[in-house]
Each structure stands twice: as structure tokens, then as C-alpha cells.
Amino acid sequence: MSDATAPAPTDRARSSESGPVGRFLKATELDTRMLGMIGALLIIWLTFNLLSGGLFLTPRNLWNLSVQSASVAVMATGMVLVIVTRNIDLSVGSILGVVGMVMGVTQAQILPDYLGFGHPAIWAIAALVGLCFGVAIGALHGYVIAYLGVPAFIVTLGGLLVWRGAAWWVTSGQTVAPMDSTFRLMGGGPDGSVGATWSWIIGVVACVAVVVMLVNARVQRKRFQFPLRPVWAEAFLGAVTCGLILGAVWVANSYPWPIGIVRRYAEANNMELPEGGLFIAHGIAIPVLIAVGVGILMTFVATRTRFGRYVFAIGGNPEAAALAGINTRWVTMKIFMLMGALAAVGAMISTARLNAATNAQGTLDELLVIAAAVIGGTSLSGGVGTIAGAMLGAMLMQSLASGMILLGVDTPLQNIVVGLALVVAVWLDTVYRRRLG
């Protein structure tokens, strides 16, 4: 009897020694690395807001920041799985460029000859062609890496050059524009947003989903007799998460349409503009919804599927994974196919936002994507990484770029800062792993 109760005083002593912050983190089970990234992001935002005279933390800039981060965030979710398996993909920016060019030619030059301009199926066919093309490129990379034994660094470095050249070859260097009107909705803008009402509906539904997930997780823990978080910790997590969601919706709804677009909208609908002007909110941008949807799907894939468990098993110990019966080569090939598909989704967002397919599209995006994943906590030594962290890392990288643009920093210096951020992130990851070891 004494053996069963003896650890209790020791646990209480350890709990008291950890201090209030330690007890809070233990109760809420918050990831300290994620908190560190959020803190770094807030510091960056406040610093740029101060240096720019209050221009950074405005609804307009934050809305644009979310749209600009969408394509990198989508690709970063796939880069997590690539790096987790101790591989790398240096070709994602070039894949984005060539897929964007293929989709541009498909919808601007090929399909109109058969379906006519403005046909409602053009955007869907173009997107499907781009998706298939991206998956095919990823399959080629994955096959060479997994089955022919060529290192991923070499294969994707070659892909960076090959697909960038292929993007030029498709149109001999010409820019393709404009894109289909429905396709352009994936790029954001006044038409590519869901408006104030739907934004609030989406926000409320998301909050309800958060509460349901917390309740379900608690029920499952109790069912399998896992330790339960205190009720106050569950309430705190739900309140903070819902507060952030509704706050993001409020910011999106605080950014109005430009006056020129409002005037044209009023004329087209035979409306008289009020004396103080007409306020029409953008709401949440469609590319942001796409990025969030991809993030949720990739989180499910990484944490709730057999494929995801195999990926992390391979990253943790490839030899042990192979001995356990995992077809490591086929899993690796599927990872690169998935990366190609996500690069195609990023190409859709980027091409739609630019309303054109250009040869410079996606240049250096591979740097931003890898940096986002690494800054988000994905270890280059493999086996560790989170989808949410990578998406937060994408927001952090885009915040650096956006802030420096507001301050008038030259592009070469921007690249220097991004490169230094990547090196520092890897160094911090090395220090963190060493301390854990």
C-alpha cells in the first residue's frame, strides 16, 4: 500500500519546484517551441509596425500578408514530410513555375479553341491538368530517389534547373495572360474573398469545431485512461483559439474594397453611393481558405493515417522501419508525389493572384518553403516536424519580406535576411536537439 502512494509527495514536490509557468505549460500541454515562434512573430510584427509608422499592423497589410503567405504555406506542409524522412526538395519553386505555365497555356490558349472563351469548365480542367502534371513530376523525382538510389539533393537540384528551363520552353519565354475569371478567384482580391457574412459564419463554425475537438479528445483520453488536462486548461485553450479565429475574421472584415472598385460595383448594380462612401468588406480571402484547408488535411494525413505514421517511422530510423516491413521506397515515392501535388496547388494560387503565368514565377520559393518548414520546427535530422509549425513559419518568413518592403529595403538585402533566418533556425534546432539529448 505504501509503495502505491509513495510517488505522490514526490510528484507534488516536483510540481511545486517547476514554478507557475512550468505548471501552466504542463497543464495546457502547450508546445514551447510553438510558443517561441508565436513570440518571435509578434516581436517581428511590433518592430515593423513601429519602424513603418503604424503601417504594418493595419487590416490592409495583414490581409495582404495572409494572401501572400498562402502558396508558400501550402507547399511547406508537404516539405515537412519530405524533410522528416531526411530528404530535401530544392525544385518546388521550379515545379510551381512550370505547372503555372502549363495551366496558363491550357486555359488561355488551348481550351478556348475547343470550348470557347468563358466556358465554365475551363478553370476546372486547367486546375486538373496542373494537378496531374505536378503529381507526375513528383512521381518522377520520387522514383529516381527511391528506386534508383540517387540522393534527393541531387535529383531535386537537377529538377530545379530542368523545370525552370521547361517553364521557359513551354512559351519560349512569353508571359501568358489573362487567366480565366473563375480561376482568378483562387488568387484573392475583392472578388476572390467570401465577404463579411460568410467570414463570420466560417469563424463561428471553426470555433464550434474547436470545442467539439477538445470535448472529443477529453472523452477519448478518459476512455483509454490517459491523463486528463484540468478543466480550466481545456477552457483556456478553447477560449484562446476561438479568440484568435474571431480576431482574424474581424481583421479580414475591417479591410474594405478600394473606392474605385466600390464605385464600379455601385454603377453595375444601379446603386447610389452614400455621402460617406460605401463600406464593403473583403472578408477572408479564398487562397487563405485553401491554405487552411490544406493544412487541416495534411495534419490529418501526418497524424491520423498509416501513411503518416510510416513517414515519421522512416524519419526516426529508416533501417528499423524497413525491418518492420514498411515499404520505404514506395512511401518515399508517395511523399514526392504529394509534394508535387501541393506545388501544383501553390501554382494555382500564385498564377491566379498574378493573373498571369510568367517565367519568373516561383523563383527562390524553394528557399522560403524550406525555411518555413525548418523555422516551424521540422528537424533536418529527420523524424520531427509539425504541419502547423510549418504554416506559422511561412507566415513568419512572409512577415519579414513584407516588413522590409514597407521599409524600402532593397531585394538583395531581403535575401540576406531570409538566408540568415534559415541559418539561425537550423542552429537553434541543433541546440534544442543537443539539450534534449
With the C-alpha atoms ordered 437, 79, 364, 398, is the resulting torsion angle positive or negative?
negative
Mean per-residue pLDDT over the chain, rounded: 90
Q: Tens digit of pLDDT for each residue in 139-155?
A: 999 999 999 999 999 99
Residue 358 pLDDT > 80? yes
Note the pLDDT tens digit of each residue in 404-429.
999 988 888 888 887 888 788 778 77
pTM of the model: 0.92
Count of beta carbons in the 10 Å neighbourhood of residue 422: 18
Range of the domain at 252: 194-284
Percent of the chain with pLDDT over 90: 69
Domain C-terminal end among 284, 299, 316: 284
Three-state DSSP at 357 gives strand
Residue with cell 493544412: 295
Same domain for 328 and 234, yes or no, is no
425 shares a domain with 303: yes
pLDDT score of 191 more than 60: yes
Which tens digits make up the pLDDT trace of 173-182? 899 999 999 9
* Together in a domain, 176 and 321: yes
- The reply to whether 14 falls in a domain is no
User: Does residue 233 sit in the same domain as residue 351?
Assistant: no
Mean pLDDT, rounded, for 120-132: 96
216 forms beta bridges with none
C-alpha–C-alpha distance, residues 340 and 75, integer Å: 9
Residues 178 and 321 in one domain: yes
pLDDT in tens, 34-92: 888 888 899 999 999 999 999 999 999 999 999 999 999 999 999 999 999 999 999 99
pLDDT at 220 over 80: yes
Residues 417 and 369 in one domain: yes
Q: What phi and psi values does residue 183 have, to the nearest 5 degrees?
A: -60, -35
pLDDT at 17 exceeding the cut of 60: no
Please, are residues 187 and 353 in contact by the beta-carbon 8 Å criterion? yes
Dist CA 173 CA 151 (whole Å): 31
